[in-house]
Amino acid sequence: MSLSQIWVLSRTADDFSMSLEAGWMVNPSVYGDRRTRFFIFTTNDGYTTWLYNDNHRSQTPNNHLQFRIMDNYLPFGIQLDSSTINGDSTELEIVIKQDEDQDWGLWVDDNQIGYWPKSNYRARSANTIEWGGEIVNKRTRGRHTSTQMGNGHLSSEPLGRVAYIRNMALYDLDLDRYDAPGEINVVATKPNCYDLRYSHSDDEYGEYVIISWVKYLMGNRSYVILIFHQVDYDDHQNDEEDWEILVDETLIGYWPKSNYEVNSANEVAWGGEIVNRRTRGRHTSTQMGSGHFSTDDLGTVAYIRKMALYDLGMDLYYPPEEDIDISKNNGNCYDATYWDLRQADDHDDFGHYITMEGPGYHPRNCP
């Protein structure tokens, strides 16, 4: 199976209450051929309970999911014309948006096909929009499937030779349309097999993404997805005692204080970890860092720098040296070295830092 689609989702770390999906797929196990077909899909509990098109549903208790058809402009499962490389492109304009009654309407080429009733879902709005492609890899021949994504060309090739999704846009709560904003994440689970390129154009393509196939790689399931994710943090500030995570000064999200019985931390750890299953009757040869030892020069070793803490007054400070412990549970295989400010005179922008490395298996030192 290979598909390209849009996802409209209401999803958090603890709850997956809605996914509305529409696009086109090639699925020989369903249709008995390799033709491109139009489809829709929905779930209200993270893919346990689902409805495919308007009549094929999961055999789960109390599956009352519905899609109500209003127009047969494009029947589900209908064969679509194929695009030709360096020739004519076949396009569908697909729009999913809420109406004034909070039902979720599906529009194709300015025709309302129907709607998913709001009664399907606990969520009353979406917080994530995704555009992209997906394939299924069952490894039936002991290797990755040769199923292509798009038309099998690389995403770096020019338009006219690659599969694409264009004019990506959103609707706000007033049902006004606007271009997809800059808060876009690009996700490729198997970038050596399938990749994508997100671009902006001032012509009729607007915001667009190119999706493509690359080559074989081991794995179970591969997809490339372009994600817009929007969360309102206005009510969740530091003084609420939630635990925020920032990456490069950007607030990614937070763990609510309600997760935990404690209101503060008493230990902070930095370091590295590997998994050693001894599948060959010996220690794994998985390296930590670049495989060198932690006493090698910077530029050769992996490091974590500018290690610092926040006190209860939200002031940043470096941890006292006497309070630092180095813990190594297998020092002959992997090691770590702590460097304070005095030892780091040649690298004063590193602050307090650690280097952590190790080559893993060695017949004598790390058997």
- At 10, list the tokens: 């209401």
Give me the residue spans of the domains in the chain.
2-229, 265-357
Is-above-0.85 flag for pTM? no
Is the pLDDT score of 275 beyond 50?
A: yes
Which pLDDT tens digit goes with each residue over 20-56?
A: 999 999 998 888 898 999 999 999 999 999 999 999 9
| Per-residue pLDDT reduced to its tens digit, 232-263 | 333 333 567 788 888 877 888 888 888 888 77
Q: Are 140 and 157 in contact (CB under 8 A)?
A: no
DSSP letters spanning 173-228: TT--EEE--S-EEEEES-TTTEEEEEEE-SSTT-EEEEEEE------SEEEEEEEE
- Residue of 313, 315, 312, 318 whose CA lies nearest to 353: 318
Average confidence (pLDDT) over 332-338: 80
- Sheet with 353-357, strands from edge to edge, namely 303-304, 353-357, 335-339
166, two tokens: 């264009």
CA geometry: angle 87, 90, 96, nearest 5 deg: 150
Exposed e or buried b per residue across 198-225, where buried means at least 16 C-beta atoms within 10 angstroms of its C-beta: beeeeeeeebbbbbbbbeeeeeeebbbb
In this prediction, residue 285 carries a pLDDT of 84
- For 147, 148, 270, 278, the CA distances from 192, given in Å and listed in that order, are 14, 13, 30, 27
Average model confidence (pLDDT) for the chain?
79
- The Cα–Cα gap between 305 and 272 comes to 13
Interval 2-14 mean pLDDT: 89
CA 23, CA 32: separation in Å to the nearest integer? 19
pLDDT tens for 167-226 read 888 887 777 877 766 667 778 888 778 888 777 776 666 655 655 433 222 223 334 344
Backbone angles phi, psi at 295, to 5 degrees: -85, -5
DSSP code of residue 78 = P
Report the relative pairing of strands 169-171 and 353-357 from DSSP bridges: unpaired
Sign of CA dihedral 30, 36, 38, 39: positive
